[in-house]
Amino acid sequence: MASLKTSTLRASLICALVAVLGVSGMPARAASPDLSGIRLPAGFSIETWAEGVTNARSLALGDGGTLFVGTRSAGKVYAVRSRADGSREVLTIASGLNMPNGIAFRDGALYVAEVQRILRYDAIESRLAAPPPPVVIAELPAERHHGWRYLGFGPDGKLYVPVGAPCNVCDRDGFAVIIRMNPDGSGRETVARGVRNSVGFTWHPVTRQLWFTDNGRDMLGDDVPPCELNRVSREGQHFGFPFCHGADVVDPEFGALGQCAAAVAPVQSLGAHVAPLGLKFYSARQFPAEYRGSVFIAEHGSWNRSEKSGYRITRVKLDGDRAIGYEDFATGWLRPDGKVAGRPVDLLLLADGSMLVSDDLAGVIYRIAHTGRR
């Protein structure tokens, strides 16, 4: 009987070990996210496009089809390549960096924004297995509060980067701006002022004007102030921070520094504390015609609200430069019981017109496509 008990115990331990390690002796791959709760308009589908992309944040596409992914807390930059069988290979091409959230690709080089500087990795797609040492092209303020950057090259060939306010609300020279520079870091200019914390911007496909999201200040309550979708129609415009939030919310501490009427009002006031990050105009043709020209926004989700908000992708419908609708597009990462299954961060359109979405909580990249008639 003792021998039988010992054998049974040994078998149980072996089964448990196999369950943890897998048959190859390596840790078993985490299960794919459960997407059954994600809600999309009729005719759309969502799938997990790439897994094992821990803390996936900003997205950039190389000329050779490599998807580059920045991170915030992981300190890494990934390269995701598609295999012939349709699966994805995830490579870590940089690690130990200081919040390398922002990335951009141009002329064969990958640009990576740490908190305190911008790096450039030359000829990166041909050197993924052994990336070159980076070249430092620009120094930035080292404050970590709202210090995780976003990067992007504009139609003018300039490299754009926000420098967020190093606080919840304060008035500091050199902060709360969006700047731009030449690809080598020279010729620095200020494009927009009064921008508290933008972690996402894009350009209108026709007018080529800069549009960006901005995260509203905290500690004024659950529903005040709104987060924002903004448009830069003229260089150097002021968008209100720290004296005005949204279109007309006067700051109780810094309201005397300016007037809301003198600031540029948002194109669309978004939900309070929804943390809007990446955004893209839909300029492709896979989605139905009614979606073309709309702005899609990844709302990362609140951390400071008594009832959570955000955790979704929204759509802003436009008539020219005027917003005529703000609605849900993809929801369900915030479960009915209040638990959070994912946090969308950035958006990217593929050549076929489908949309990639990064999720830094689940550590995956999703693909949203239109697959049938409405």
Q: Residue 63, exposed/middle/buried by CB under 10 A (0-12, 13-18, 19+)?
A: exposed
> What is residue 372's predicted lDDT score, i.e. its pLDDT?
81
The pLDDT of 331-339, averaged and rounded, is: 97
The pLDDT of 248-270, averaged and rounded, is: 98
Confidence of residue 294 (pLDDT cuts 50, 70, 90): very high
**Residue 20 CB neighbours (<10 A):** 9
More confident call, 7 vs 52? 52
DSSP readout, 11-38?
Answer: HHHHHHHHHHH-TTSSPPPPPPP--TT-
DSSP readout, 99-136?
Answer: ---EEEEETTEEEEE-SSEEEEETTGGG-SSSPPPPEE
As a whole-number percent, the residues of the chain with pLDDT over 70 amount to 91
Average pLDDT taken over every residue of the chain: 92
The pLDDT of 28-49, averaged and rounded, is: 86
CA distance 168 to 159: 26
**Buried b / exposed e along 338-348 (16+ C-beta atoms within 10 A):** eeebbbbbbbb
8-state DSSP, 334: B
Find tokens 């091409």 and name the residue.
Answer: 93
The pLDDT of 64-73, averaged and rounded, is: 98
8-state DSSP, 3: H
The answer to which of 30-39, 45-54, 158-167, 334-343 has the lowest mean pLDDT is: 30-39
CA distance 241 to 265: 11
As a whole-number percent, the residues of the chain with pLDDT over 90 amount to 90
> What is residue 31's predicted lDDT score, i.e. its pLDDT?
60
CA distance 197 to 253: 18
The pLDDT of 69-96, averaged and rounded, is: 97
CA distance 116 to 144: 9
The answer to which of 30-34, 142-146, 212-216, 222-226 has the lowest mean pLDDT is: 30-34
pTM above 0.75, yes or no: yes
> What is residue 1's predicted lDDT score, i.e. its pLDDT?
40
pLDDT at residue 119 tops 50: yes
Confidence of residue 373 (pLDDT cuts 50, 70, 90): low
Contact yes or no for 80/88 (Cβ under 8 A): yes
Contact yes or no for 235/272 (Cβ under 8 A): no
Q: Amino acid identity of 194?
A: G
SS3 63: coil
**Residue 336 CB neighbours (<10 A):** 7
The dihedral over CA atoms of 360, 117, 142, 219, expressed in degrees to the nearest 10, equals -40
More confident call, 45 vs 86? 45
The answer to which of 11-15, 136-140, 214-218, 359-363 has the lowest mean pLDDT is: 11-15
The pLDDT of 306-326, averaged and rounded, is: 97
pLDDT at residue 10 tops 80: no
Q: How far is CA 53 from CA 10, 63, 144, 243, in A?
A: 36, 21, 23, 39
The pLDDT of 238-262, averaged and rounded, is: 98
> What is residue 11's predicted lDDT score, i.e. its pLDDT?
37
Confidence of residue 149 (pLDDT cuts 50, 70, 90): very high
> What is residue 100's predicted lDDT score, i.e. its pLDDT?
98
For the chain, list the domains and their CATH numbers: 1-30 (no CATH), 35-370 (2.120.10.30)
Query: Containing H/E element for 8?
Result: helix 2-21
Q: Residue 173, exposed/middle/buried by CB under 10 A (0-12, 13-18, 19+)?
A: exposed
